[in-house]
Structure 1
Amino acid sequence: MSPLDALDPKYRLILCDVWGVVHDGVTLYPGTAERLCQWRDQGRCVILITNAPRTAEAVSGQLERMGLPRICWDAIATSGEAGIEALNALGRPVGFLGTRGDWAILEGRGVRLAKGDDFTDLACTGITEERPNPEDYRPDLERWADRDVHMHCLNPDRMVVRGGLIEACAGAIADIYQGLGGRVTWYGKPYDTIYRHALHLAGDPPADEVLAVGDGLQTDILGAARMGFDAVFVSGGINEGAPFPADFAERYGLGEWRPVAAIEGLA
C-alpha cells in the first residue's frame, strides 16, 4: 500500500512535479493517470508544476501526446511562463541558448531574440543535440561573463532522466556561468516565483493545505521546504531508488524538516 492511498484530507492542493514523477521524458510512468485523477475525484486541486522552459500550453500538448488525459490536472505552472514574462518586460532583444523548438516558443510569445552577439541579457533554456555536454558551452560562457551578460535561466534543473538516460539541463550551464562570475536569474523551482504563480492558479490556499510531490532534491523538495509546504519525496526518477538523504535539512538550514513520505512512484 502506498502512503498516497491514505493521504490526509487537509491537502487541498497537490503540486505535482512532471519530469521524473509523471513521465521519464519519453513514456508515462505506470499509474500516473489513475493517481492524478484519484486526487481530483477526491476534490483536491492538482497543479502540475514544472521547470520546463516552455509555456503551459506547450507542456499540456506534450503530456496529451504521451497519453495523459487532460482531465488529470487543473492547471500547469511552468518556469518558462515566469521567464517569458520577465524577458518581455526588458523591452529589448536578448541572446538565446537552447533548442530551435524553444526559440520558436519564446518568439511566439513575443520575446525579442537577438540574431547576433549584441545583447546584454540572455535566455538559457537548455542544451542542444549538437552540444550535449554543459562544458561544451564554456568558451561562449567565458565570453559572455567578460561582457557581464545577464543570464536568465528558464530551467533550474541540472539534469533529468530521458528514457533511462541522464541528460543535462539549463541549470547545469547556469552553474558553470555563475562559477565564471556571471550573473544569473533563476526561474522555477526552488525559487518562490513559480510557487506564487501556482498558488494563485489554485485560489491561494494556505501553506498547510499544500502538498508538493517531486523527485528533485535541489528543486522540488528544497522549494517545498522553503515555502513551508509538506512534501512527498519520489525516490524514482533522477534518484534511481536512492533513499532521502539523512542530512538534507541540516545541509540547507531547514531545522527538523523532512518529507511526510517517501515513495518510489505515484502508482
Structure 2
Amino acid sequence: MPATLSAFSEIAERYDGFIFDVWGTLYDGGKAFPDALSTVRALAERKKKLLVLSNSPRVPSVVAERLTGIGFELSWFTDIVTSGGMVADIVGGRNDAEARSLGERVLWLGRARFPDTLPAGAFTEVAEVGEADWILNAGPENPDSRIEEVEPLLAEGAGRGLPMVCANPDKSVFQLGVRQICAGAMAERYESLGGRVRHFGKPFPEIFTHCLERIALPAERVLVVGDNLETDILGANRAGIDSLLLGGGIHAGELAGDPVQKLPALIAEHGARPAYFAGSLAW
C-alpha cells in the first residue's frame, strides 16, 4: 500500500524534481486548486526543478497560457511537455521512421477544438475516411460526444487499415465536475475494432524519457504527481519514477467515503502502484 500523506511537505525534500500532471492535479478544468497553487509556489521557492506533463493534444505554449491565466507563474517551471507537442514535433516534422511512413492525406479528428496538434501545412487534410491515408485523433469534435457517435467512422477507418496517431491517451476528464470522453477512449475503441494506434503521452515510456531529459535528473530523484492511475501512475511505474496519487481527481467517485480503504482494490484493478497517496496537494 502507498504511504498516505497528510501534507506534501512531508516528502518535499526527498526529491530534487517534480513532474506535475495538469487536469485533475493543478486545476479542475476551470480554475486552479488552491492547495496545488500554494504547493507549487513553495517548491519553486525551494529551487526544486518542476516540470508540467500534460496529455493535452495542444502544444506547450497553449498549456502555458492556460496555467498563467489561473495563477501559476511560468518562472516556477523548468519546462512544459505535452502529448500534442510531441505529435507536432515528431509526426509534424516527420522526425522518425514511423512518422515518415505516414501518407500525405490525414483525417484530423478534433480539428476545430485542437487546431495546433499538427503544424499548418505539414499534411493535406481531408474530410472523409475514404480519402485519408491515416487518422490523427486529437479527441471528439464536441466535448459532450459519446463513443457511439464516432463508432461508424472508427469502424470504417479500422476496416480500411488506416493507422491512427492518438494525441491524448486520456480516456476521460472531469470538466467542472462533468465527465467527458477524450481521444484515448476513441483510440481504445479503434484498437478493439482491429485498428493500429500510435500513442503519444502518458502512460507510454517515450514521453517520460523526454521529461527526464528536460528536467536533467535521474529517475530516482524525481516524483510524478497526478490523479490518474491509468496514465500518471502507470507511466511513472514503467519509467521507474516514484509517484503520488491524488484522490480528488478522476478517481474521486470511486474513492468517495473512505479512500484509504477503497484504494487497494483500485490499485489492483489498474495494475499501477503509487508510492504515496494524498487527498489533495495541501502543503
Q: 2:86 aligns with which of 82, 89, 92?
A: 82
Q: Aligned pair 1:209/2:224, yes or no?
A: no
* CA positional deviation for 1:69: 2.5
Q: Aligned pair 1:245/2:263, yes or no?
A: yes
Distance 2:74 2:124 in 1: 32
| 1:144 alignment counterpart | 157
- Check 1:239–1:102 CA distance in 2 against 1; reply closer, same or farther (3 A cut): same
State the number of aligned residues.
Answer: 262
TM-score, length of structure 1 as denominator length:
0.90
Q: Aligned pair 1:23/2:41, yes or no?
A: no
CA RMSD between the two structures: 2.1
Q: Report if aligned partners of 1:21, 1:234 keep a CA contact under 8 Å in 2.
A: yes
Letter in 2 for 1:5: S
Distance 2:241 2:268 in 1: 17
CA deviation string 1:97-139 (max 9, x = no partner): 0141413x13545532422432221110111227611221000
Letter in 2 for 1:197: H
Letter in 2 for 1:58: V
Q: Pairwise mapping of residues 110-125 of structure 1 onto structure 2 (< 5 A)?
A: 110-117=121-128, 118-125=131-138
CA deviation string 1:211-252 (max 9, x = no partner): 000011110010011111111110011111613632566556
Q: Pairwise mapping of residues 27-106 of structure 1 onto structure 2 (< 5 A)?
A: 27-88=31-92, 89=94, 90=99, 92-103=104-115, 105-106=116-117
* CA positional deviation for 1:14: 0.2
Letter in 2 for 1:54: R
Distance 1:132 1:68 in 2: 31
Q: Percent identity?
A: 31
Q: Report if aligned partners of 2:88, 2:119 keep a CA contact under 8 Å in 1.
A: no
Distance 2:122 2:58 in 1: 12
* CA positional deviation for 1:206: 1.3
- Check 1:54–1:130 CA distance in 2 against 1; reply closer, same or farther (3 A cut): closer
Relative to structure 2, which stretch is displaced further, 176-185 or 35-44? 35-44
Distance 1:252 1:20 in 2: 18
Q: 1:245 aligns to what SS in structure 2?
A: helix
Instruction: Identify unmatched segments of 5+ residues in structure 2.
Output: none
Q: 1:2 aligns to what SS in structure 2?
A: coil
Letter in 2 for 1:14: F
Q: Report if aligned partners of 1:235, 1:265 keep a CA contact under 8 Å in 2.
A: yes
Q: Report if aligned partners of 2:225, 2:243 keep a CA contact under 8 Å in 1.
A: yes
Q: 2:184 aligns with which of 157, 171, 182?
A: 171
| 2:277 alignment counterpart | 262
Q: 2:145 aligns with which of 121, 132, 139?
A: 132
Letter in 1 for 2:52: L
Distance 1:113 1:27 in 2: 36
Q: Report if aligned partners of 1:221, 1:231 keep a CA contact under 8 Å in 2.
A: yes
Relative to structure 2, which stretch is displaced further, 92-101 or 174-183? 92-101
Q: Report if aligned partners of 1:52, 1:79 keep a CA contact under 8 Å in 2.
A: yes
Q: 2:80 aligns to what SS in structure 1?
A: strand
Relative to structure 2, which stretch is displaced further, 94-103 or 149-158? 94-103
Distance 1:141 1:236 in 2: 33
Q: 2:126 aligns to what SS in structure 1?
A: coil
TM-score, length of structure 2 as denominator length:
0.85
Q: 1:100 aligns to what SS in structure 2?
A: coil
Q: Report if aligned partners of 1:121, 1:149 keep a CA contact under 8 Å in 2.
A: yes
Letter in 1 for 2:264: A
Letter in 2 for 1:229: I
